[in-house]
C-alpha cells in the first residue's frame, strides 16, 4: 500500500485551474520529487496532501488518513517545511525547537536534531542572526521535531548559494536514511537528479510524466556523445564496428563518437586494448532539462 495516494486531484481558484487531474503514489522510504516551473501547481498539490487546502475533486490519502477529515492525527505523523516561513527575529534556535516539540505527543530530541543538522553552535543564537543556510537547516529541524513518518519539503534550497545547497542535500539524504519518506517540491533540475528516486513532472497543473530521473531521460533520448583526443592515431573503423556505436566523426584532433547503451565502456575498452589514452575525455547525454522540453514543449526556468 503506498504511503501517499493522490488520485484525480483537482483544485481551482475562481476561473484559474491550479491542479487538473493529478495522480501519483509515493512508496515508503523513497524521496519522491514534484518538479515543475513556478505556477505549475506543485505547491497547491502538496498543500492538499498536508490538509492545508481542500481539493475540488479527487482523493488524497496519507498514511491511510484523509488530510481533511483526520487533520489532527496526520499532523502528528507528517512534517512540513513550507515554501516560505519566518520566526520572530529574537527567538533563539533552541527556543523554537522546544516550542514546536510541545505540539507533538512523541517529539524528537532537540539536541540530537541540532547536532544532526549542524546547529549546535547556534542553539542560543537569535533567528535574525542566522545565515540563509542556517535558517533552512532550522526549518528542516522544525519539520522533523515531531518524529514524522513523512516529510514534505517545498522549494527546500531556493535562495541558497551552491555550497549551502549541497550541504542541505547531504542532510536530506541523511534524513531519508533514518527512515523518513520525503516528498520534495523543486524547480531545480540538479536537485531532482541528485536526490529523487522518482519524479512527477508537473506543468500547467497536469502530470506530464512519472518515472525515475534516469527513466525520464532515457525515454526522451538514450544517446551519448563521447569526445576525446586519442594519444595515438586510430582508425575510425575500430569504433564503427562496435554494435553500440552509431557514428564516428573527426573534429580536428578530436574524435566524437555517438552511441547508446554501454557505448562508453565499449569505446574505452577498444582504446585500452590498443594502449591508447583518451585525453580530454567528455561524455554528453540528455538530462532532465531535455526530458522536460520533450514532454512539455518548453524549457523549465
**Amino acid 301: pLDDT:** 58
> From the CB of residue 179, how many other CB atoms can be counted at a distance below 10 Å?
9
CB burial string 63-73: b at 16+ within 10 A, e below: bebebeebeee
109 & 70 share domain? yes
> Which secondary-structure segment (H or E) carries 295?
helix 288-296
77 & 189 share domain? yes
Query: In a structure prediction context, what are the per-residue pLDDT tens digits for the chain, which is 301 residues long?
Result: 899 999 999 999 998 999 999 999 999 999 999 998 888 899 999 999 999 999 999 999 999 999 999 999 999 999 998 777 789 999 999 999 999 999 999 999 999 889 888 899 999 999 999 988 888 889 889 999 999 999 999 887 877 778 878 888 888 898 899 899 999 998 888 899 999 999 999 988 999 999 999 888 877 777 889 999 999 999 999 999 999 999 999 998 999 999 988 899 999 999 999 999 999 999 988 788 888 888 877 666 5
Question: Closest Cα partner for 166 from 145, 190, 182, 199?
Answer: 190
Determine the Cα–Cα distance for residues 40 and 200; give it in Å rounded to an integer.
12
> From the CB of residue 237, how many other CB atoms can be counted at a distance below 10 Å?
8
**Amino acid 168: pLDDT:** 83
Determine the Cα–Cα distance for residues 90 and 93; give it in Å rounded to an integer.
9
CB within 8 Å of 54: residues ≥ 6 apart: 48, 68
CATH assignment of the domain containing 206:
3.40.50.300
**Three-state DSSP class for residue 170:** helix
CB within 8 Å of 289: residues ≥ 6 apart: 189, 299, 300
213 & 234 share domain? no
Q: Residue 236 carries which DSSP code?
A: T
Q: Most distant CA pair in the chain: distance in Å?
A: 72
Is the Cβ–Cβ distance between 74 and 27 less than 8 Å?
no
52 & 90 share domain? yes
Which structural domain, as residue segments, surrounds residue 228?
222-285
Enter the C-alpha cell of residue 158: 531556493
Residue 203 lies in a domain: yes
CATH assignment of the domain containing 252:
3.30.70.980
**Amino acid 82: pLDDT:** 79
Residue 293 lies in a domain: no
Tell me the pLDDT tens digit for each residue of 210-221: 999 988 887 777
Residue 301 lies in a domain: no
**Amino acid 212: pLDDT:** 93
**Amino acid 298: pLDDT:** 66
Tell me the pLDDT tens digit for each residue of 76-131: 999 998 777 789 999 999 999 999 999 999 999 999 889 888 899 999 999 999 98
What is this structure's pTM? Answer: 0.80
Domain count, the chain: 2
Residue 294 lies in a domain: no
Kindly write down the DSSP assignment for every residue of 29-94, as one continuous string: T-EEEEE--TTSSHHHHHHHHHTSS--SEEEEEETTB-TTTTHHHHHHHEEEE-SS----TT-BHH
116 & 239 share domain? no
257 & 114 share domain? no
CB burial string 181-206: b at 16+ within 10 A, e below: bbbbbbbbbbbbbbbbebbbbbbbbb
Question: Domain boundary at 170, 185, 218, which?
Answer: 218
Q: Residue 121 carries which DSSP code?
A: G
Amino acid at each position: 500500500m503506498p504511503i501517499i495516494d493522490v488520485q484525480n486531484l483537482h483544485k481551482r481558484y475562481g476561473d484559474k485551474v491550479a491542479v487538473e487531474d493529478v495522480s501519483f503514489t509515493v512508496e515508503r522510504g523513497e524521496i519522491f520529487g514534484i518538479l515543475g516551473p513556478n505556477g505549475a501547481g506543485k505547491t497547491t498539490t502538496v498543500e492538499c496532501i498536508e490538509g492545508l487546502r481542500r481539493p475540488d475533486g479527487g482523493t488524497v490519502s496519507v498514511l491511510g488518513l484523509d488530510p481533511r477529515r483526520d487533520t489532527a492525527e496526520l499532523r502528528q505523523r507528517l512534517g512540513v517545511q513550507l515554501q516560505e516561513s519566518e520566526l520572530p527575529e529574537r527567538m533563539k534556535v533552541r527556543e523554537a525547537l522546544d516550542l514546536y516539540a510541545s505540539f507533538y505527543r512523541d517529539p524528537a530530541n532537540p539536541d540530537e536534531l541540532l547536532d544532526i543538522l549542524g546547529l549546535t553552535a547556534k542553539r542560543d543564537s537569535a533567528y535574525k542572526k542566522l545565515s540563509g543556510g542556517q535558517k533552512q537547516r532550522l526549518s528542516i529541524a522544525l519539520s522533523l521535531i515531531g518524529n514524522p513518518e513523512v516529510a514534505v519539503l517545498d522549494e527546500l534550497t531556493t535562495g541558497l548559494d551552491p555550497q549551502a545547497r549541497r550541504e542541505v542535500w547531504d542532510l536530506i539524504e541523511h534524513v531519508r536514511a533514518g527512515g523518513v519518506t520525503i516528498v520534495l517540491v523543486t524547480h531545480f533540475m540538479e536537485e531532482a537528479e541528485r536526490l529523487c528516486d522518482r519524479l512527477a513532472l508537473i506543468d500547467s497543473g497536469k502530470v506530464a510524466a512519472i518515472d525515475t530521473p534516469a527513466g525520464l531521460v532515457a525515454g526522451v533520448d538514450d544517446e551519448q556523445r563521447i569526445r576525446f583526443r586519442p594519444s595515438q592515431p586510430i582508425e575510425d573503423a575500430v569504433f564503427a564496428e562496435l554494435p553500440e556505436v552509431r557514428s564516428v566523426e573527426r573534429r580536428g584532433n578530436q574524435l566524437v563518437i555517438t552511441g547508446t547503451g554501454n557505448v562508453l565502456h565499449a569505446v574505452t575498452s577498444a582504446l585500452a586494448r590498443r594502449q591508447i589514452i583518451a585525453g580530454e575525455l567528455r561524455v554528453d547525454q540528455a538530462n532532465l532539462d531535455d526530458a522536460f522540453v520533450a514532454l512539455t514543449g518548453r524549457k523549465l526556468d
